[in-house]
Each structure stands twice: as structure tokens, then as C-alpha cells.
Amino acid sequence: MSRLERIFDGGLYRSRRGVILGVCRGLAEYFHFSLFWTRTLALIFLLVSGLWPAVGLYFIAALLMKPEPVIPIQTAAEQEFYDSYTQSRHGAVERLKRRFQNLERRIQRMEDIVTSREFDWENRLNS
């Protein structure tokens, strides 16, 4: 895995509290760098390189960086779900549907057992 893949697969996120798409704040938080200096470097790059290269790279970075999770991720399972959701929302929704359908089937089986005549007779005999 290359360094760039590790950066984008790790904890590098676009900040939800950023001014324009949260790229500078996300970079500053990830590298533990001052937000002021990160924005200053971005502005200097904009002035030196011209408008289109800097704006193009900024929007490419915004597209590559995942948005910061609304609720902080605490477990590996949550991280796996968040990564799958940001990669394929349809797949994540399908996985949730399957999970709830499995729970629904389990609840249905428990209801069938509890409401059966045999269960009622066993309870009467045991009490």
C-alpha cells in the first residue's frame, strides 16, 4: 500500500467545520499543523501557481478525501462500516437491509414459539 493510499484510507477527512469544503482544516487536523498556516500555504500556492492549478488540486483533494464522520468512530467495526458506506452507499444500505431482515426473521420465530399452543400447554403444566 502506497503512502498516498494510507493517507486517504486512514484518518484524513474533510472537516465539516471548514470554510470551503473543509480541505485545509482536514489537512491541518490530520498533520497536527496550524490551520492559519495551512490556509496561508494554500493561498500562497494559489498566488504562485495561478488560479486554475490551485483550484483544480483543491477540488481534486476534496473529491478524494472522505467527509469527516458525524459521530466519532470508536471501534473497528464502525470504521469498516463507514469506509464501506463512503465507497459504496448502495452496498452499505443492502447490508443493513439484510441485517434487519435477519433480525426480523429471528423475532418472527420467537413470536411463533411463544404464541404456539404447545408453549401455552407447557407453561400451564409447569406452573
Q: What share of the chain is helix, strand, coil (3-state, %, to 5)?
A: 75, 5, 25
Q: What is the pLDDT of residue 8?
A: 46
Q: How many residues does the chain have?
A: 127
Mean pLDDT of 84-111: 84
Average pLDDT, the chain: 81
Q: What is the pLDDT of residue 41?
A: 92
Cell numbers describing residue 2: 502506497
Domain boundary assignment for the chain: 1-72, 88-127
Mean pLDDT of 80-100: 78
d(CA 34, CA 11): 17
Question: Which residues 6+ apart lie within 8 Å of 84 measured at CB?
Answer: 91, 92, 95
Whether 7 has a pLDDT exceeding 60, the answer reads no
Mean pLDDT of 31-35: 90
Whether 6 has a pLDDT exceeding 80, the answer reads no
Question: For cell 504562485, what's the residue?
Answer: 48
